[in-house]
Amino acid sequence: MNNLIRGRPIAEFRRIIQDPVLFIGLILVVVFIIVAILSPIYMMVEESLTEKGQELFDRYLNSPVYRTIIRNTLEMGLIVAALGTTLGFLLAYIQVKVDVPFKRLMHITYLVPIISPPFAVATAVLLLFGRNGMISRGWFGIRYDIYGLDGLSLVLTLSYFTVAYMNLKGMMQALDPALDEAATNLGANKFRIFRTVTVPMLIPGIAGSFLLLFVEAIADLGNPLVMGGNYEVLSTRIYVSIVGLYNTTAAAVLSVILLVPSLLVFMVQRYWISRTSVVSVTGKPTGTPQQITHPLVRWLLFGAGLFVSLFILLIYGTIFAGAFTKILNINNDLTLDHFDFVINGYGSEAMKDTTKLAAIATPVAGLLGMVIAFLVVRKRFMGRAALDFATMLGIAVPGTIIGIGYLLVFNRPNEITLPLLGTITLIPKLTGGRAIFGGAGAIVLVFIVRSVPAALRSGVAALSQIDPSIEEASISLGADNIGTFRRITLPLIRPAFFSGLVYAFARSMTTISAIIFLTTSRTKIMTHQILNEVENGRYGNAFAYCVILIGIVLVAIVILSVAVGTTTGAEKTMEGGA
């Protein structure tokens, strides 16, 4: 019966229509995607193609200055992607294949950058290794000029390598150890296995991580603003053309130029790498991976892993210390002033607003991700692939583009005039202090748009591993679709749902490039405030914000794990049966 439906998408579509709850779910998802993802991108592209925009395209693409800027952007992206992937690979390899002490602790330190706000790393690096750095100048007496490509590469690599690390670690753990064993039995040594078995099997993962990091790096706005020096990249140019000149056409044109490599990479990853994947994820490796035992290699790798851990600890230690001292490196007296500023002072508004909005966006993003995953994996209907693709655009497209697109679409009410009914406001004005909810609507929407893709991916990954017959059984026993989704599917993909929620919350709390254009007098956002503090050199306040932000994310993770962690009957049955 299942096969019959697979062959007939329209029939399945009819079935969806017959189930009103599912149908409304699908409609909501489609409306969400059209309104929140596609329309801003469309408006931005349209703006860039106006006559004025075309002239600008001409000017930018033919100007040596802008060619340098485009080259800088790509160069930075490639360097960060290469460094980050290498680092991620190395650390993942140590975790999975080498028996070294403190593994678990090192693993935890590698995760920290994910939950930390932007600029935290950049500011700490500036204080430690900058021109007046506590280490570079304090210990070595060098005024190291960290502004520009070298500083940016370091900071962006540190900020984003975790993505590659997690990705590759997951793949390495899923590699069937039988392959290694077979190679060993055939007489290969460890290095040969590494070169001819491990690496080739991981190529898709390596390429995927590389591309992901590339996109993250070229889209990054906060770090180039803080330590770009005269190394100009596209994102900072876009920023100035909006905040300084409010030239939306110029911003749109530059955004489209930035969009091209991002989308290209996204397509390559989606259609090429996923097809060449040779890894068979069985879910359960058939044995434990063989460990590297060669002492020299082992200790060298241990040293490398430990070095990275210590470096991260140093960075976050600096942030922590800076939050409690008057002016770190100038006046090291202890103080709680900075926390007073964030908790009681004028910084408190941003803290409350951001947490509240992230808390609203998180469950919506998590559920939306699971619903889309469910539709994409379990249902067959026309436009299924397009649904997945369009959702993923939320993260494939640089944040600056989403932010400017929102300004273009939502800075006025969207109305249609219908016969008989007159003019109807479809979507009220969402951006700016005069909009509904003081402009918070657009910000929540951006939070959701940026978080759903990750929830979708983890949902898809989880669902693909669950046999549909379990759900079919539920339906045959008389449960409806929504009941089955709620009582069977959702509990089964609980870990994916949980990681989707955690990611959504962390992402919402730390995102900057998209919302920097959308904060208003009535809705202040922590990351934007941190940028203000960093730019004006009030590092203590910025660090206190960072510490509190990290604290909030950690608390949220605990709360989420308690809330989502309840084991349901369905799951117990699964565990018992397995």
Partner 1 sequence: MKKLSVITLCLLLAAAVAPVMVASPVAPVEAQEDTLTVLCTPQEDWCVAMTQAFEEETGIETSYVRMSSGESLARIRATQDDPEFSVWWGGPADAFIAAYEEGLIEPYEPELASVLAPNAVGVDHSWHGVYVGALGFCSNVEFLEELGIEAPTSWEDLLAPELKSNVAVAHPATSGTAFTAFWTIVTLKADELEAAEAGTGYDEDGMPTQAAIDNAFEYFSKLHQNILQYTRSGAAPGQMAANGEIAVAIIFSHDCVKLQVEGFEGIVVNTFPEEGTGYEIGGMGLIKGAPEPEAAKMWIEWALSVDAQSVAGTVNSLQLPTNPDTPVSDLSVKLNEVNLVEYNFIAAGMNRTAIAERFDAEIAPQPTE
| Residues in contact with partner 1 by the rule CB under 8 A | 10, 13, 27, 30-31, 34-35, 65-66, 68-69, 126, 130-132, 137, 143, 145, 147, 225, 228-230, 232, 237, 240-247, 326-327, 329-331, 345-346, 382-383, 411-412, 416, 418, 421, 424-429, 432-434, 436-437, 519-522, 532, 535-539
Task: Kindly state the smallest distance separating residue 141's Cβ from partner 1, in Å.
Answer: 10
Q: Which residue has the tokens 């100038």?
A: 330
Q: Which residue has the tokens 């007046």?
A: 132
* For partner 1, the closer CB: 185 or 230: 230
What tokens does 219 get?
């889209």
* For partner 1, the closer CB: 34 or 267: 34
* For partner 1, the closer CB: 233 or 449: 233
* For partner 1, the closer CB: 144 or 194: 144
Task: Kindly state the smallest distance separating residue 242's Cβ from partner 1, in Å.
Answer: 8
382: left (phi over 0), alpha (psi -120 to 50) or beta: beta
Helices (H) and strands (E) in the chain — how many of each? 29, 4
Q: Which residue has the tokens 């990853």?
A: 269
DSSP assignment string, 444-498: HHHHHHHHHHHHHHHHHHHHHTS-HHHHHHHHHTT--HHHHIIIIIHHHTHHHHH
* For partner 1, the closer CB: 79 or 502: 79
Closest C-alpha to 93, from 200, 171, 196: 171
Beta bridge partners of 427: 414
DSSP assignment string, 131-192: TT-TTTTTTT------TTHHHHHHHHHHHHHHHHHHHHHHHHHHS-HHHHHHHHHTT--HHH
Task: Kindly state the smallest distance separating residue 131's Cβ from partner 1, in Å.
Answer: 5
Task: Give helix 149-174 / helix 295-324 axis angle, nearest 10°.
Answer: 130
CB 281 within 8 A of CB 174: yes
* For partner 1, the closer CB: 142 or 178: 142
Classified as helix, coil or strand, 417 is strand
* For partner 1, the closer CB: 199 or 382: 382
Task: Kindly state the smallest distance separating residue 341's Cβ from partner 1, in Å.
Answer: 10
The span from the CA of 123 to the CA of 318, in Å, is: 9
* For partner 1, the closer CB: 229 or 289: 229
What tokens does 300 get?
């060298």
What tokens does 225 get?
């603003």
Closest C-alpha to 219, from 542, 546, 512: 512
Task: Kindly state the smallest distance separating residue 338's Cβ from partner 1, in Å.
Answer: 13
* For partner 1, the closer CB: 48 or 198: 48
* For partner 1, the closer CB: 536 or 561: 536
The span from the CA of 110 to the CA of 133, in Å, is: 24
Task: Kindly state the smallest distance separating residue 471's Cβ from partner 1, in Å.
Answer: 24
CB 362 within 8 A of CB 504: yes
Half-sphere exposure of 408 (CA within 13 A, CB side): 27
Task: Kindly state the smallest distance separating residue 251's Cβ from partner 1, in Å.
Answer: 11
Task: Kindly state the smallest distance separating residue 229's Cβ from partner 1, in Å.
Answer: 5
8-state DSSP, 517: G
* For partner 1, the closer CB: 186 or 416: 416
Radius of gyration of the chain, Cα coordinates, nearest whole angstrom: 25
* For partner 1, the closer CB: 343 or 475: 343
Residue type (1 letter), 359: A
The span from the CA of 234 to the CA of 67, in Å, is: 10
Task: Kindly state the smallest distance separating residue 139's Cβ from partner 1, in Å.
Answer: 15
Q: Which residue has the tokens 């190394």?
A: 231
The span from the CA of 412 to the CA of 428, in Å, is: 7
Task: Kindly state the smallest distance separating residue 31's Cβ from partner 1, in Å.
Answer: 5
Task: Kindly state the smallest distance separating residue 311's Cβ from partner 1, in Å.
Answer: 22
The span from the CA of 327 to the CA of 335, in Å, is: 10
* For partner 1, the closer CB: 521 or 567: 521
Q: Which residue has the tokens 């931005």?
A: 44
Task: Kindly state the smallest distance separating residue 63's Cβ from partner 1, in Å.
Answer: 9
Task: Kindly state the smallest distance separating residue 27's Cβ from partner 1, in Å.
Answer: 6
* For partner 1, the closer CB: 387 or 496: 387
The span from the CA of 238 to the CA of 261, in Å, is: 16
CB 504 within 8 A of CB 292: no
Beta bridge partners of 418: 422
Task: Kindly state the smallest distance separating residue 443's Cβ from partner 1, in Å.
Answer: 14
